[in-house]
Amino acid sequence: MDKIQEMRSKILELNRYRRAYYNRNQSLVSNAEYDAMFEELEKMERETGIVYADSPTQHVGYYPEGKLEKIRHPVPLLSLDKTKEIQELKKFAKKNMVLLMLKLDGLTIKLTYEKGRLLEAATRGDGETGENVLRNVPFIKGIPVTIPYQKRLVLSGEAFIRQDDFKRLQEVLRDENGEAPKNGRNLASGSVQSSNPKHCQGRCVRFMPFNVLEGLEEIREEGRGKCLSILEHMGFSVCPYIYLEPERSNEETELWVQHLKTAAERKNIPIDGIVAIYDSYRYSESLGRTERFYRNGLAFKFEDESYETVLREISWTPSRSGELAPVALFDTIEIDGCAVSRATLHNLTFIKELELMSGCRIQVSKRNMIIPHVEGNLDRGNYEDTYPKLCPCCKSPTRVYVRETEKGKKIETLHCDNPGCESQILRKFVHFAEKKAMDIEGLSEAILGRFLSLGWISCFQDLYYLRQYRKKIIHMEGFGEKSYEKLIKAIEDSRNTDFAHYLTAMDIPMIGRTKSRELSKIFHNNLDAFEEAASGDYDFSKLEDFGETLNRNIHTWFADEDNRNQWRDLQIEMIFHEEDIHMAERKDNPFSSCVIVATGKLQNFTRDGIHNKILELGGIPGNSVTRKTNYLICGEKAGSKLAKAKQMGIPILSEEEFLQKISSL
């Protein structure tokens, strides 16, 4: 539980940074600190096996909040895993041809062409939902409105401002406070995502494509590099890249990386690293993806510079789980054009190891040019424990919790064990109302805090009975008839929900948005069936990518009487969508509860279609072949999954054989 609290505080802090970065074009912390926090969170998730729904490790970017039209990405635009080690870059290449290209520092955009005309321009957003920025395309250099290709073409690339252009813009542009823009990335992002095209005009925003997502099927077998060269003939200025041939040494790999870096500097192209991606589309697709990354690429990040400043205070913020998160407040320094004055300190162990105290000189970096991180202490030798003995929120005694990592290192964290701590309760309500949970628009942290302080809500059910306070709410500051009715409508609309959103709202450790969706398919949106399994001896570890820790977390959560009561009582307020499960219940169905992977080109199913059919049969669609895989359905041009299935002795069905089996059911 204490480890969970530590994770929650990190998630809250990281999400605050993400929201500011992606939706407000504000860099609250340096890249270095963000990456350090992110890496620490990833490590904790690996150690515990717990992954929360709102963890930044499970998402790309941040859900767009602007006034532009929202666009859903049928295929998620995910990020890439990162490394700072050349040997890891070489190891990634293995025996495959790899493209090394610039990792442009800007805003990712997806373009869709039909019959030679540009139909859609969308930002990446959170990877699944972006914003329509088509209106601003005329003011972005490098995006042709028409192309000499008549079939459907979908490509992704980066919108950015060259460094020399940004320096000129800094001299003339001022915001509402009279300040010049701090960095080119934020200016490019803000310009492209502006609802007023005039704000994009004259900003020198450029676009470079770096990947073909759909189309050019006639030449895709020739590789990714060939597709990019075709884009150049269509009028695009493609992101610079070079081929890295298989079995290159670390020295040769480093030489090519430096060559690209030098080329970017010479052309004033802003970058924050180098991307390695497999040239072969077929091999890339065979690798699949994680919840956050595609496995076909790797981002190589440059080392970060450190800056000296003075630590003034260590603040402690209670999280939803009760862990107190330490944050360093120091004299403001400028890193990569951003004013930086705070950085997470992770835990007590981190503070003690660096001997951090108010007044000491510290070194701060911006890891990977995103997140501020305290790298060192220049004034060691006078350390004393100064952590708060009382919770800053509820004034309850704090407790130091010691845990041991798999490698035997002891980590100390500070906690408030008071279940009635207002900060913890508030953050639980905030999670419940989030879009990925019950999706109650307008129910902000500030509003929830006011309702809690007035005693109007003490459990989630109370939210659905706020009408009794109608007169009082209307007369609250910031409210009126219209805002009240809008809020109540959002609350009432949330009653109409589904299994996945409801399960996410319960905040079971490791059950996030993705896992909730998978469980909704496996249990066919039947909450009673899931509760019976979770309260019984159902082995969730047999499911694809679930594991023993998740299995244990589900059973532990449902073993708690308060959790079970909350689970059942709240359902009274909801209207759930249900699916037909007759096929799954048939006793002669050999695919029920089986993990089934499909590979190759299928004649009778799309990729989503075969997954839906597997779910209809009561099976579990898998993305990769593992020891848990029960069947492999094999289409034309099957690749590595087929070879792996043969090696592991997994039953292989042709598409025809699969259809024959299900036709008799």
pLDDT at 120: 93
Average model confidence (pLDDT) for the chain?
85
94 vs 260 pLDDT, higher one: 260
Please tell me the predicted confidence (pLDDT) of residue 320.
79
pLDDT band at 583 (very low <50, low <70, confident <90, very high): very low
Q: Which CATH superfamily is domain 70-291 in?
A: DNA ligase/mRNA capping enzyme (3.30.470.30)
Confidence of residue 450 (pLDDT cuts 50, 70, 90): very high
Range name among 36-45, 125-134, 488-497 with the lowest pLDDT average: 36-45
pLDDT of residue 49: 62
Model confidence at 480: pLDDT above 80:
yes
The architecture that CATH gives domain 582-663 is 3-Layer(aba) Sandwich (3.40)
Torsion region of 485: left, alpha or beta (phi above 0 gives left; psi -120 to 50 gives alpha): alpha
Give the domain ranges of the chain: 2-59+304-416, 70-291, 440-493, 499-576, 582-663
Of the candidates 142, 102, 109, 140, the residue with the CA atom closest to the CA atom of residue 267: 102
Name the pLDDT band for 58 (thresholds 50, 70, 90): low
Please report the pLDDT score of residue 541 as a whole number.
86
How many of the other CB atoms lie within 10 Å of CB of 445?
A: 12
Burial of 153 (0-12, 13-18, 19+ CB in 10 A): buried
Report yes or no: 598 and 611 within 8 Å, Cβ to Cβ. yes
The yes-or-no verdict on residue 599 having pLDDT over 60 is yes
Task: In whole angstroms, give the CA distance from residue 455 to residue 15.
Answer: 28
Task: Provide the pLDDT for residue 435.
Answer: 85
Closest C-alpha among 460, 559, 557 to residue 505: 460
Residue 438 has pLDDT above 80, yes or no: yes
Provide the token pair at 58. 């499970």
Q: What is the pTM of this model?
A: 0.51
What is the phi/psi pair of residue 394, to 5°?
-105, -5
Q: Token digits for 419?
A: 């279940």
- What letter does residue 395 receive in the DSSP assignment? -
pLDDT bin (cut points 50, 70, 90) of residue 327 is: very high
Write down the pLDDT at residue 305.
72
pLDDT tens figures, 364-414: 987 655 678 898 899 988 888 889 999 998 999 999 988 776 567 788 999
Which residues of 428-516 form beta strands (DSSP E)?
496-497
Contacts of range 481-486, beta carbons closer than 8 Å, 24 or more positions apart: 483/442, 486/442
pLDDT for 337: 66
Fold of 2-59+304-416: OB fold (Dihydrolipoamide Acetyltransferase, E2P) (2.40.50)
Average pLDDT over residues 440-461: 91
Judge contact between 276 and 83, C-beta under 8 A: no
Q: Which residue has the tokens 């220049």?
A: 378
Name the more confident of 67 and 440. 440
Q: Inform me whether the pLDDT recorded for 269 exceeds 60.
A: yes
CA distance 514 to 27: 28
The catalytically annotated residue of 103, 182, 436, 521 is: 103
Distance CA 665, CA 660 (A): 9
What is the mean predicted confidence (pLDDT) over 440-463? 91
Q: What is the mean pLDDT of residues 42-66?
A: 63
Highest-confidence segment of 214-223, 312-321, 369-378: 214-223
pLDDT at 56: 75
Q: Greater confidence, 545 or 63?
A: 545
Binned at pLDDT 50, 70 and 90, residue 52 comes out as low
CA neighbours closer than 13 Å in the CB half-sphere of residue 665? 20
Both ends of the chain: CA-CA distance in Å? 46
d(CA 329, CA 59): 28
The neighbouring-strand residues paired with 621 are 596
3-class secondary structure, 121: strand
- Tokens (6 digits) for 619: 């099976």
Q: Output 587 or 629, whichever has higher pLDDT.
A: 629
pLDDT tens column, 503-559: 999 988 878 777 888 888 888 888 888 998 999 888 898 887 787 888 998 999 999
Cα angle 644-648-649, degrees, rounded to a multiple of 5: 115
Q: What CATH fold (topology level) applies to the domain 499-576?
A: DNA polymerase; domain 1 (1.10.150)
Q: What is the mean pLDDT of residues 119-124?
A: 93
- Catalytic, 67? Answer no
Q: Which two tokens stand for residue 588?
A: 């002669």
